Amino acid sequence: MWTHIGLVALLIAVYVIAMRLVSTAIRAVGLRQGINELRMSVVAKILNLGLTAVFILLLCVVLGVGYGQLAVFFSSVFAVVGVALFAQWSILSNITASLIIFFSFPYRVGDWIKVVDKDEEILGQIHEISTFHVIITRLSGDRVTYPNSLILQKAVICYHDEAEARRYSALLTADDNAEQKGKD
């Protein structure tokens, strides 16, 4: 019995330390990359939720819950969650993409970018990067909400400043006008 109590206490201590380390690491990465506080908080919550799930699993093992009972419980939970996420697959992919963007996206809020898309190229300034989407403010002032999972799949061109983005936009407009006159 004392062994179980000692293991549970050790597990709780490791869990608390791991939660603090994850939060500290996310904050350090966020500050180094110039990411806003809200986004750092959301990423920390997502990763802490995963740590909590692992903690509960390990706690059940330490307390002697049988593997068969755990298997039945987790397979039931995963079946329900799987059906729910299959219906909303894009939500899961956008959350995963949000974590990837947090740690390795080369652009940040305030950068001027162009998302190269076959239907429509989106040129503007990154206004916000959230859990599900990137909000881009176009030169015209319109805001475009672009899903995280798609921005990772598309080519993105970064401009040094607004003036360079406007020059590119003017070149596109001139090319489009010349092409239109050629068709007439």
Work out how many domains the chain is built from and give that number. Answer: 2
Please indicate, yes or no, if residue 42 is contained in any of the structural domains: yes
Each residue's pLDDT tens digit, 132-178:
889 999 988 899 998 888 888 888 888 888 888 888 877 766 655 55
Please indicate, yes or no, if residue 72 is contained in any of the structural domains: yes
Q: Name which of 49-58, 79-88, 122-131 the model is least confident about.
A: 79-88
Residue 93 confidence (pLDDT): 81
Residues 73 and 139 in one domain: no
CATH number of the domain where residue 140 is located: 2.30.30.520
Q: What is the mean pLDDT of residues 100-107?
A: 81
Domain with 132 in it? 107-183
SS (H, E, C) the chain: CHHHHHHHHHHHHHHHHHHHHHHHHHHHHHHHHCCCHHHHHHHHHHHHHHHHHHHHHHHHHHCCCCHHHHHHHHHHHHHHHHHHHHHCHHHHHHHHHHHHHHHHCCCCCCCEEEEECCCCCEEEEEEEECCCEEEEEECCCCEEEEEHHHHCCCEEEEECCHHHHHHHHHHHHHHHHHHHHHHC
Each residue's pLDDT tens digit, 5-64:
888 899 999 999 999 999 999 999 888 888 888 888 888 888 888 899 889 888 888 887
Please indicate, yes or no, if residue 71 is contained in any of the structural domains: yes
- End-of-domain residue from the set 87, 120, 151: 87
Please indicate, yes or no, if residue 149 is contained in any of the structural domains: yes
What percent of the chain clears pLDDT 70, i.e. is strictly above it? 89
Please indicate, yes or no, if residue 143 is contained in any of the structural domains: yes
